[in-house]
Amino acid sequence: MRSDAKENYHHLLVTARAVVAEEGANASMRDIARKAGVGPATLFRHFPTRDALLDTLLRGSLEELTQKANALESAPSADDALVTWLHEAVAFVRIYSGVVTLMASALSDASSALHASCAGLRSAGTRLLARAQAVGTADKNMTGSDLFALIGALGWIGDQASYSARSDYLFNVIASAILINRPSRDVAMGII
Amino acid sequence: MRSDAKENYHHLLVTARAVVAEEGANASMRDIARKAGVGPATLFRHFPTRDALLDTLLRGSLEELTQKANALESAPSADDALVTWLHEAVAFVRIYSGVVTLMASALSDASSALHASCAGLRSAGTRLLARAQAVGTADKNMTGSDLFALIGALGWIGDQASYSARSDYLFNVIASAILINRPSRDVAMGII
DNA sequence: ACCTGAACACCGTTCAAGT
DNA sequence: ACCTGAACACCGTTCAAGT
């Protein structure tokens, strides 16, 4: 990459992060280019799709979250490990509004630039779920994809002005539904 | 209303229903006008906002759903009544993709043409919830707005290609979380 | 090798001009 | 009283032309 291209690339990323933080994952691509001071074509050559841009934007955090899941596999309580990770996953998707919908469609589209990162994260979550199913109280009918769907659902709730204030409570509602055989949902709150 | 205007209005509604069924609640307004064979300005005078169009499109079903809630208030089991209604509410929002997000934002925007219909439905649902909290096993910390948030979350799940196949299972997961003190989530399935 | 402005085909929304 | 095409300010995306 030529040095001016490198400069463009980095400035584009910094700007994109700010704009996406402000406007959400469906922010105008043109607006990002404009605010970065480059033509729209320059943005599109560096990031041929919105998914490609978001993959670059999110990959670091997605990998972090994947590693946290891996680390939690050796935590003493399988249930607590799952709930802790779930909490972090929901906190992550709430950073950028609209990102859960993008991630969901990336999962069903193998050609999306975001697909691999999302699928990797899902695998890591699936292992935590499996352990909680084996030695914990997690619902045995649930799949890793279901877990992702519920994370997405909580992300969606967080994106809605009318519901977002209640998202901590609704997290506990859903967490207690996953750990179906726990005595009370309040157990989930102690570990945060 | 002049007779040609009346004709336009009805044709617009029929077309809009078809297009929204096909493309979802965020279908292009211009496309609806085009397919109805009128200019965009004609659509916008009949329905000054997308919410106004969707209110007209949905009002009948929303009122039906509200009345069903009212009727279920005298059902023998408060829990079953709540779950039955929840099931119908989720089935309804799944008809038009994207409609839950529109409804959620209508709830937080009193000036939306959809606001009244949605708020009315929420009230009816809230009464069913309250009864299940009083004489049933519904979680006492839950509000009617939380119930709506969960309906929306299930609608969102139904809108995602990657998750929609599992929405019946996830309905049961969430229904069991609302009726927190039931012995098993399988109880919820008998009444459908 | 990279960038750019202009172009294409859209969108929601409005308005002057028509009948 | 109602409708219309054209207009305005956008959008994602592409491409020929520049340096």
Q: pLDDT tens-digit profile of B161-179?
A: 999 999 999 999 999 999 9
| CA angle A119–A121–A124, rounded 5-degree value | 110
Rounded average pLDDT over A95-108 = 98
DSSP class per residue in chain A: --HHHHHHHHHHHHHHHHHHHHH-TT--HHHHHHHHTS-HHHHHHH-SSHHHHHHHHHHHHHHHHHHHHHHHTTSS-HHHHHHHHHHHHHHHHTTSTTHHHHHHHHHT-TTSTTHHHHHHHHHHHHHHHHHHHHHS---TT--HHHHHHHHHHHHHHHH-TTTGGGHHHHHHHHHHHHSTTSS-GGGGGTT-
* pLDDT, averaged across chain B: 93
Rounded average pLDDT over A72-92 = 98
Rounded average pLDDT over A174-192 = 66
Rounded average pLDDT over A146-166 = 98
Do residue A152 and residue B163 have CB atoms under 8 angstroms apart? yes
| pLDDT tier for residue B1 given thresholds of 50, 70 and 90 | low
What positions of strand D are covered by protein, i.e. any atom < 7 Å from a CB?
1-7, 10-16
The confidence score (pLDDT) of residue B8 equals 84
The confidence score (pLDDT) of residue A183 equals 57
Do residue B174 and residue A170 have CB atoms under 8 angstroms apart? no
Give distance CA A24 / C1' D15 (Å): 29
Comparing alpha-carbon positions, the chain B residue that sits nearest to A119 is B162
Rounded average pLDDT over B130-155 = 97
Q: What is the pLDDT of residues B64-110, one digit of tens each?
A: 999 999 999 999 999 999 999 999 999 999 999 999 999 999 999 99
The confidence score (pLDDT) of residue A7 equals 84
DSSP-based helix, strand, coil % in chain B, nearest 5: 75, 0, 25
Q: State how far the Cα of B33 lies from the Cα of B11, in Å rounded to an integer.
A: 10
Tokens linked to A45? 């050559």
- All residues of chain B having their beta carbon less than 8 Å from the beta carbon of residue A186 are none
| pLDDT tier for residue A3 given thresholds of 50, 70 and 90 | confident
Q: Is 60 exceeded by the pLDDT of residue B192?
A: no
Q: Is 90 exceeded by the pLDDT of residue A181?
A: no
- Closest by CA to B98, choosing from B114, B83, B84, is B114
> Of B101, B149, B160, which has the smallest distance from its Cβ to A152's Cβ?
B160
Q: Is 70 exceeded by the pLDDT of residue B191?
A: no
Stretch 76-135 of chain A: residues touching chain B, C-beta under 8 Å: 101, 104-105, 107-108
Length of chain A: 192
Rounded average pLDDT over A155-181 = 96
Ramachandran assignment for B63, one of left (phi > 0), alpha (psi -120 to 50 degrees), beta (any other): alpha
The confidence score (pLDDT) of residue B188 equals 46
Q: Is 80 exceeded by the pLDDT of residue A25?
A: yes
Q: State how far the Cα of A4 lies from the Cα of A2, in Å rounded to an integer.
A: 6
Give distance CA A8 / C1' C14 (Å): 38
| pLDDT tier for residue B53 given thresholds of 50, 70 and 90 | very high
Q: Is 50 exceeded by the pLDDT of residue A189?
A: no
Crossing angle of helices B115-135 and B144-159, rounded to 10°:
110
> Of A160, A173, A178, which has the smallest distance from its Cβ to B139's Cβ?
A173
Q: Does pTM top 0.85 for this prediction? A: yes
The confidence score (pLDDT) of residue B180 equals 82
Rounded average pLDDT over A58-67 = 97
Rounded average pLDDT over A148-171 = 98
> Of B154, B157, B177, which has the smallest distance from its Cβ to A176's Cβ?
B177
Longest Cα separation, chain A? 61
